[in-house]
Amino acid sequence: MSLSLAQFNALSQADATSKLLTCCTSASWAHSVASARPFTDIDDVLASSDKAWQEAQIEEANLLEAFDGHPQIGNVDSLKEKYRNTQDSAAHEQSGANNADMEVIEALAKGNQEYLDKFGFIFIVFATGKSAQEMLDLLLARLPNDRDTELRNAAAEQNKITRLRLQKLLGAA
Quickly count: other Cβ atoms within 10 Å of residue 144's Cβ: 9
Assess whether 70 carries a catalytic annotation: yes
Active-site position among 31, 70, 92, 142: 70
SS (H, E, C) the chain: CCCCHHHHHHCCHHHHHHHHCCCCCCHHHHHHHHHCCCCCCHHHHHHHHHHHHHHHCCCHHHHHHHHCCCCCCCCHHHHHHHHCCHHHCHHHHHHCCCCCCHHHHHHHHHHHHHHHHHHCCCCCCCCCCCCHHHHHHHHHHHCCCCHHHHHHHHHHHHHHHHHHHHHHHCCCC
Q: How far apart are CA 82 and CA 100, in angstroms?
A: 9
Residues catalogued as catalytic: 70
